[in-house]
């Protein structure tokens, strides 16, 4: 009998805990939002304003404090953020204290195409519109392409990841046959890069030429530097 009494007490205690948990959960779901916190997880300057993010999260001109937590549909909020052309990834959540949080990863441009209108190529090789908030300092792309110049993505990524080339290359020109020319900062010579192959080797060849010519104080004497011939750099003087 004593054992049955302890069983009954345990069942009653568990039931009370369940009721308390359900009451707390219901009360918590009906709480109003108290704050909004947006975090950009990438290292880029903002291409999208906090005001724009807020409008995507809070619809129909509602005030933040008028929205109950139970009415939120977080997946819909994430979908609205992802529809913005500057957003690569988004995660929306609500904290226990009623803060609506959004973690946003922006798209990362690595080249800017000179067109009508101009646009970026991002690190995923996709076309990306310009931002009205911030202009990225990336190489300017010109020439001919049927694929929005996304074929240049491997070269643009290598340029971005190589400090010397990132600081030196200010422009790329793509020809219809797939060859590429590079325009260098503060240099009068044009670099004939050629086909999009052996990228790292060509970078090393150009660096070797540059440092030697700079040491000899002859950089300004050249008008063409051709990297198409294996390990050989063919430089043409003016």
**Is residue 22 included in any domain, yes or no?**
no
**Is residue 95 included in any domain, yes or no?**
yes
Neighbours of 86 (CB within 10 A): 24
Which of 45, 77, 106 delimits the end of a domain? 106
What are the helix (H) ranges across the chain? Answer: 2-29, 50-57, 74-82, 153-161, 163-168, 199-215
Residue 22 has a pLDDT of 43
Contact 71, 101 (CB under 8 A): no
Q: Are 117 and 71 within one domain?
A: no
Q: Which two tokens stand for residue 68?
A: 């109950």
Residue 214 has a pLDDT of 94
CATH number of the domain encompassing residue 65: 3.10.20
Q: Are 101 and 113 within one domain?
A: no
Q: Are 56 and 120 within one domain?
A: no
Contact 65, 108 (CB under 8 A): no
pLDDT tens, the chain, 238 aa long? 545 555 554 544 555 454 444 434 444 445 576 788 889 998 888 899 988 888 888 765 555 555 555 557 788 889 999 999 999 999 998 888 888 889 999 999 999 999 999 999 999 999 999 999 999 999 999 999 999 999 999 999 999 999 999 999 999 999 999 999 999 999 999 999 999 999 999 999 999 999 999 999 999 999 999 999 988 999 999 9
Cα 106 to Cα 41: distance, rounded to the nearest angstrom? 8
What is the count of structural domains for the chain?
2
**Is residue 5 included in any domain, yes or no?**
no
**Is residue 70 included in any domain, yes or no?**
yes
Residue 184 has a pLDDT of 97
């Amino acid at each position: 009998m004593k054992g049955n009494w302890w069983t009954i007490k345990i069942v009653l205690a568990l039931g009370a805990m369940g009721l308390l948990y359900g009451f707390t959960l219901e009360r918590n779901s009906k709480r109003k939002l108290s704050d909004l916190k947006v975090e950009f997880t990438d290292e880029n300057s903002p291409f999208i304003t906090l005001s724009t993010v807020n409008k995507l999260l809070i619809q129909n001109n509602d005030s933040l404090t008028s929205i109950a937590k139970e009415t939120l549909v977080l997946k819909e909020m994430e979908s609205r953020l992802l529809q913005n052309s500057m957003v690569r990834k988004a995660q929306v959540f609500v904290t226990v204290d009623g803060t609506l949080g959004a973690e946003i990863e922006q798209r990362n441009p690595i080249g800017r195409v000179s067109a009508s209108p101009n646009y970026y190529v991002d690190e995923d090789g996709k076309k990306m519109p310009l931002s009205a908030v911030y202009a990225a300092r990336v190489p300017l792309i010109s020439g001919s392409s049927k694929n929005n110049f996304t074929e240049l993505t491997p070269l643009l990524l290598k340029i971005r990841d190589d400090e010397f080339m990132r600081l030196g290359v200010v422009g790329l020109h793509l020809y219809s046959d797939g060859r590429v020319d590079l325009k260098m900062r503060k240099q009068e010579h044009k670099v004939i890069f050629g086909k999009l192959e052996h990228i790292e080797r060509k970078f090393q060849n150009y660096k070797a030429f540059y440092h030697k010519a700079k040491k000899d104080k002859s950089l300004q004497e050249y008008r063409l530097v051709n990297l198409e011939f294996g390990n050989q750099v063919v430089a043409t003087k003016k």
